[in-house]
Structure 1
Amino acid sequence: MTAFEPGRLARVLAELDASEGPAQALAQLVRQGLDQLPLPAHGATWQRWQALSVVAEHDLSLVKLVEGHLDALAVQAEVAPWADRVGGATWGMWAAEAPGERTRFEPMEADEVRLHGRKAWCSGAAHVSHGLLTAWSAEGRGPQLVRVAMQQPGVTVSRAAWHAVGMAASESLDLHFDNAVAHLVGDEGAYLQRPGFWQGGAGIAACWYGGALQLANALRRHVAETAPAQRQPFRCAALGEVDMSLQCTAALLREAAQWIDDHPTQDASAVALRVRLAAECSATRVLDEAGRALGATPFCRDQRFARMAADLPVFLRQSHAQRDFAALGERVAAAGEAPWAL
């Protein structure tokens, strides 16, 4: 893995063809080797999160695909480091389970299996070359990770259920498998049991944070470009609240990344839940304060602001809201001592 170069990544993003979608942008980043980032818990988690934040500030639908691609690479490196890698591939990482539905697999020879059934919420499924997903045996054992090449007769992509406005370009579509060829990756249950499950989950916070930065910078530029004598106090106050919120979340992100690097095999669930909830709260506050301070103008006349304002609330719903607060509270109560002393 190479060291993250924020300047290079920002330049490549700025040069992307705006007429192309996020899937084409992901392929371009892969061709330039910009997906070769440090793995979580390998000493440079902060650099990995910086990259996610930079991409998110540019385009949330793109970072949705980039994060899935990077997660698929990290998962395979963790649970099946001996497996052959597919050079130049673009990956989707699909582990969501629709209520009452599971993708099933039947063993064939060696590590080959056949997939059947539906998989929902598959971001980028219409365009990526390969998918890494969770499936279940006919006897109900699992989850079991499998990798599948997307360009084959047994794989069908359906847009019938996708009616999104926010995050529309991420195309989180349904997949239907009918005897599709796939291969087992790692052991049964490895996806959830590995330390990287929560380490990777914490990285979503960097995506939410990056999306909030675009809106915060729109507010900052408006205030900075207004002559001091003409600045409205309520806009300055909004910028102050945004700064405070983002600075707090950035500090927590840095601390979480360092903790993960210092404790690579420990349970990172409390750390991940805390930083995700903080980023969600911060992003929500930035969206609210920037909108109230700037009024309707950027929502109607600034294409990038308007799209981010539509995308960010949808992406934030990857959080489980009060259920995540409850899960964090359970872990704090079980820790044995208060974690808040300076």
Structure 2
Amino acid sequence: MTAGLYHCCPPGTTPGEALRRLVAAGLPLPPRPAGGATLQRWRMLAQVGEHDLSLAKLYEGHADALAIVQELAAPALAAQAGATWAVWAAEVPGARVQLHQGADGQLRISGTKAWCSGAQEVSHALLTAWRAHAQQPQLVAVELRQPGISMSCSEWMAVGMAASASATVQFDAVPVTPVGAPGAYVNRPGFWQGGAGVAACWWGGARRIARALHTAAATSDGRPGAPYQQAALGQVDVALAGSAALLREAARWIDAHPEGDARCQALRVRQAVEAAARHVLDEVTRALGATPLCRDSGFARHAADLAVFIRQSHGARDDAALGQALLAAGEAPWAL
């Protein structure tokens, strides 16, 4: 994966172009979650995250989409040569996609979908849509290069993750293919298995920031700031090693329980890795000062990307969701 990643993503390559090159080159995709190689999947996501977080956002979405269509028994969708995929499931007040049947009997969607990462770059998307009076969304697949679709990035003001180009997409009676039954997207085991994988991208991004401190500390002996860099390196090690151990433990659990509810495992690793990434950003930038943020464009962009990407976590709401899941499970799970 490493050689292919750098071959397909030379300097100056946009994340969308890099994803298309990776797909065209036929590089192996990460193994499906819960298939016995979940940790390998997460290692691949971490590797892409360390290289480029905007690319990781698109790459993880592409890999997630292909895993979803396999899980929901729609493998023909994954067989389209050269297709690049995204998953858009954000439900935002005032932006909802409605599903209806056209006069020709074809299922169609109309409405607005927000937070569509890579919309102008990928060829296909899985997205959630709603039938009238439905209690749960229906997942549908849509080919994006057809009439009735307009996109706007005018609301995307991000500095961090700028290259992921999250758009607002408007659909007007666009034909779609249903994927699974209504509610299948959120109720399947892979929903939380896939949600945990995003943390691997964050972890890889934090590792790149940490490597900058490791390099600086390795050459700082005898300098006045050396003890402080070493102390920061120790803090960073604890954060990354602890969250990596949780990722490995969660991967083993998911592989051992492929049909199990991985909600607790997913929320736990996401919250742990988010906290670790915030700690790494804080310690590294305190120890190295403003220099890499102001004079190293790669470091500065990656630090800004990481700060935005981890906000895909829902913060205290996810803490509360984890607490609720633990209470619903009954006995406290902690053991050594």
> Normalised by the shorter chain, which TM-score bucket?
over 0.9
User: Which stretch of the first structure deviates more once superposed, 245-254 or 31-40?
Assistant: 31-40
Q: Where in structure 1 are there 5+ consecutive unaligned residues?
A: 1-8
Q: What does residue 333 of structure 2 align with? A: 339
Residue 118, structure 1, aligned to residue 112, structure 2: yes
Residue 12, structure 1, aligned to residue 4, structure 2: yes
Q: Report how far residue 101 of structure 1 moved.
A: 2.5
What secondary structure is seen at the aligned counterpart in 1 of 2:176?
strand
- Tell me which of 131, 151, 158 is aligned to 2:152: 158
TM-score, normalised with respect to structure 2: 0.95
What secondary structure is seen at the aligned counterpart in 2 of 1:203?
helix
Residue 131, structure 1, aligned to residue 125, structure 2: yes
- Tell me which of 69, 77, 81 is aligned to 2:62: 69
Distance of 2:5 and 2:232 partners within structure 1: 29
Q: What does residue 44 of structure 1 align with? A: 37
Question: Closer, same or farther in 2 for the Cα pair 1:266/1:109, shift >3 Å?
Answer: farther
* Paired AA for residue 189 in structure 1: G
Q: What does residue 72 of structure 2 align with? A: 79
Contact kept? 1:134, 1:144, Cα under 8 Å? yes
- Tell me which of 204, 228, 232 is aligned to 1:210: 204
User: Which stretch of the first structure deviates more once superposed, 275-284 or 33-42?
Assistant: 33-42
Q: What does residue 147 of structure 1 align with? A: 141
Question: Closer, same or farther in 2 for the Cα pair 1:35/1:101, shift >3 Å?
Answer: farther
Q: What does residue 33 of structure 1 align with? A: 26
Q: Where in structure 2 are there 5+ consecutive unaligned residues?
A: none
Residue 270, structure 1, aligned to residue 264, structure 2: yes
Distance of 1:330 and 1:201 partners within structure 2: 18
Distance of 1:60 and 1:296 partners within structure 2: 21
Runs of 4+ in 1 over 6 A off after TM superposition: none
Identity of aligned residues (%): 55
* Paired AA for residue 310 in structure 2: L
- Tell me which of 193, 196, 200 is aligned to 1:199: 193
Distance of 1:338 and 1:135 partners within structure 2: 37
Trace 1:315-334 onto structure 2 (pairs within 5 A). Answer: 315-334=309-328
1:250-289 Cα shifts (integer Å, max 9, x gaps): 1110000010000000100000000000000000000000
* Paired AA for residue 143 in structure 1: P
User: Which stretch of the first structure deviates more once superposed, 326-335 or 259-268?
Assistant: 326-335
Aligned residue pairs, count: 334
Residue 300, structure 1, aligned to residue 294, structure 2: yes
Question: Closer, same or farther in 2 for the Cα pair 1:202/1:215, shift >3 Å?
Answer: same
1:6-39 Cα shifts (integer Å, max 9, x gaps): xxx2223323232221000001111122352210
1:89-130 Cα shifts (integer Å, max 9, x gaps): 000110001113210121249994111110000001001111
* Paired AA for residue 321 in structure 2: A
